[in-house]
Amino acid sequence: MENIHFSIAVVERDTGLSKDVLRMWERRYGFPDPQRDANGERAYPSAQVERLRLIKRLMDQGHRPGKLMNTSDEELGAMAPRRPQVPQETNGSSPAELNSLLDLIKGHDAAGYQQAMQQRLARQGMQRFVQDTVAPLTRRVGEAWEEGSFEVFEEHLFTELTKRLLRQAIATLPGNQRSPRVLLTSVPDEPHVIGLLMVEALFTLEGADCIPLGTQMPLLEIARAAGAHQADIVALSFSIAFPHRQIPGLLQQLRMVLPATTGLWVGGGGASRLNKIDGVNLLGSLDEAISAITRWREEQRTV
Amino acid sequence: MENIHFSIAVVERDTGLSKDVLRMWERRYGFPDPQRDANGERAYPSAQVERLRLIKRLMDQGHRPGKLMNTSDEELGAMAPRRPQVPQETNGSSPAELNSLLDLIKGHDAAGYQQAMQQRLARQGMQRFVQDTVAPLTRRVGEAWEEGSFEVFEEHLFTELTKRLLRQAIATLPGNQRSPRVLLTSVPDEPHVIGLLMVEALFTLEGADCIPLGTQMPLLEIARAAGAHQADIVALSFSIAFPHRQIPGLLQQLRMVLPATTGLWVGGGGASRLNKIDGVNLLGSLDEAISAITRWREEQRTV
DNA sequence: AATCATTTTTGTCCTAGACAAATTGTTTGC
DNA sequence: GCAAACAATTTGTCTAGGACAAAAATGATT
């Protein structure tokens, strides 16, 4: 059980660190320090893979490899995110309630979690459920994950179950109204979908006609899709983990390929600390998203 | 309209051919034959990238690179699948019916597609809906996409809508029974989820207790999750696009970190042409998956 | 405190050689 | 004629170090 070793290709897949990086670190810092198999090829013990994953996580939070390499495992484990978090308002749900939901996930009680969430949905109604339960819960999970108090598979379970709840809830909404038509998606390298689903739920509730395209659409394809579907608005979501330096450039490019009459709305944790961009509607919160729909309708009436 | 050139990293992401392979082909066959930028780095013209994509597709169909390299573009285009694909059984649905569903997607009629699929689900029942509608439809979309007769955003729309239909259908199934407990997921860099959902639907129908963890779980996390959830079986899916060379190694290593009592079942288009691996249950089709559940139950009874 | 220039850090790309696994081709035996 | 055993070829992945540009940190100057 202990003497399991992984090839460099598997470690690349598992950690997200390229083969080049793994070899370069070994050369430069002396870690990782894999054994060699009969063919002289690297064979990484699982302990080293764990450590690499930890290092990768801390790097994603803004730490630099050179410092991390010769730090002990204990210190690494205790290391906090380097970039200061965004201060958070306490929404309508009490921390205790949210904690009990998180505990269900950490207890791996999938059925219990789903049931508890269904109950909350019934009690709060869709809009408050999204704003006061799903949104803060998602933020808490993100934080817990950065702190390392959530396992990867627990985060996956949370994401998968919550996605299902939202999609199911959206499906029960009436689809009679049909304006504005909103195309929902995210750019390549942005796989997070829960933010999009929350917005879709709220927009559908407001009577918009939502077209969900999933995540990771190439920019040119977003423009094509907007044309093909005759979308009034393209809505993008950026998670907090997305490299924010790249966002303004991306949006400008997308703005240029989109028809001028198509609105470009951007939200999510990664969008909240952006400067204004011409022709882009930055939505700092779910509340703003809802009022943006109202405002759009008013503008249409006057035109 | 200048000749646009792509870096090797972009070509890797775009074609699915690793940097090593791209460089090796250049060395061996003289193709691709990229230009060099000011830093001496490879710069691939878009025409060559197109050709590489075509070659990759033919290779996925069983052709060998050595033959393809010095074949003209015209001949390549006219080339048929070599090894007869999975015995392309004409399932219960007529090609005409499938085509009309595809036409709805190509007409960007999201609502119409959902309605038509709901109808089929009601008419066929879950099992036949999955086997005779979703499975062949998914295969057709994959083929159409490779041929280029489907836009990227059309494929995204199809995937998103079909995911929703399946999840919704799964949610309506009763969850009373509870054995075996099956953990469903995929390895890193394998983002395709529809195959997993089809299996989940069929397994749930058979009374199994499915725990969906979404896609792209690191190997060590899969093992942890299996322990935490006390799973009887871990079920993985590999799409046809996944680099098949790496699959055996991945499975062997996963097999070693999993508890010996936990079954490891593998399916999907990428798994269908694998050789037998010790301790791994290869499922060549959805039918096999269902019968594997039955067999598992029999084996449990005798133990 | 903010801007600019310099140094360090870090990831990606390069060449070219080696070899194992998979596939194909050939021979042998029945 | 067909199957099994062996040999040859094809193909992908790994290895080693060297080079360099982009990003980040540091120091200097306003």
Q: In this complex, do A14 and B108 lie within 8 Å of one another by their Cβ atoms?
A: no
Across A149-161, average pLDDT: 93
Give pLDDT, residue B261. 92
Cβ-nearest to A171 among B151, B164, B211:
B164
Ramachandran region of residue A260, left (φ > 0), alpha (ψ -120 to 50) or beta? Answer: alpha
Give me the residues paired with residue B237 across strands. Answer: B267
Quick: pLDDT tens for A245-285: 778 778 888 888 899 999 999 998 888 767 778 889 999 88
**pLDDT over threshold 80, residue A170:** yes
What proportion of chain A, given as a percentage, has pLDDT over 90? 60
C1' of C16 to CA of A66 (Å):
30
Q: A126-135, A151-160, B240-249, B268-277: lowest mean pLDDT where?
A: B268-277
Position B296 scores a pLDDT of: 94
Helices (H), chain B: 8-15, 19-29, 46-60, 65-69, 73-77, 95-106, 110-128, 135-147, 152-172, 194-205, 219-228, 247-257, 286-302
Instruction: Give B128-182 pLDDT, tens digit per residue.
Output: 999 999 999 998 998 888 777 888 899 999 999 999 999 999 988 887 667 899 9
* B150 vs B171: CA distance, rounded Å: 30
A221:B185 CB<8 A: no
Give the architecture (CATH level 2) of A95-170: Orthogonal Bundle (1.10)
Sign of CA dihedral A53, A54, A60, A65: negative
Half-sphere exposure of residue B187, counting CA atoms within 13 Å on the CB side?
30
- Give the residue-averaged pLDDT of A156-178: 89
Task: Please tell me the pTM assigned to this model.
Answer: 0.90
A175-302 CATH fold: Rossmann fold (3.40.50)
B44-76 residue pLDDT tens: 999 999 999 999 988 888 888 998 998 877 777
More confident call, B74 vs B29: B29
- The answer to whether some atom of strand C lies closer than 7 Å to the beta carbon of A39 is yes
Neighboring chain A residues of B111 at a CB cutoff of 8 Å:
175
A56 pLDDT above the threshold of 80: yes
- Residue B68 identity (one-letter amino acid): L
Nearest to A268 by CA among A214, A192, A201, A213: A192
CB-CB contact of A179 with A206 (8 Å): no
Contact B217, A156 (CB under 8 A): yes
- Cβ neighbour number for residue A148 with a 10 Å cutoff: 15
Assess B213–A contact: CB distance below 8 Å, yes or no. Answer: yes
Query: Would the CA dihedral through B263, B269, B272, B276 be positive or negative?
Result: negative
Distance from CA of B110 to the nearest CA of A (A): 8
Mean pLDDT of B207-226: 94
B248-271 per-position pLDDT tens digit: 888 988 998 999 999 999 999 888
Least confident of A40-44, B58-62, B113-117: B58-62
CATH class, A5-77 region: mainly alpha
State the DSSP H helix or E strand holding residue A236, giving kind and residue range, or none if neither. Answer: strand A233-237
Q: In sequence order, which residues have a C-beta less than 8 Å from that of residue B63 and are 6 or more positions away?
A: B79, B82
Using an 8 Å CB-CB cutoff, list chain B residues near A50: 220
Mean pLDDT, all residues of chain B: 88
Question: What pLDDT does A74 receive?
Answer: 73
Residues of B in contact with A196 (CB under 8 A): none
Q: Chain B closest CA to A280's CA: distance in Å? A: 22
Q: Is a pLDDT exceeding 60 seen at residue B98?
A: yes
- What confidence tens digit (pLDDT) does each residue in B192-210 have? 999 999 999 999 999 999 9
pLDDT at B84: 47
* Confidence band for A84, pLDDT divided at 50, 70 and 90: very low
Chain B residues closer than 8 Å to A175 by CB: 111
**B110:A7 CB<8 A:** no
A86 pLDDT above the threshold of 70: no
pLDDT at residue B2 is higher than 60: no
Name the residue in chain B with its Cα closest to that of A106.
Answer: B228
The answer to whether the beta carbon of residue A25 comes closer than 7 angstroms to any atom of strand C is yes
Q: What is the pLDDT of residue B241?
A: 84
Selected residue with higher pLDDT from B85 and A131: A131
Q: Where are the domains of chain A?
A: 5-77, 95-170, 175-302
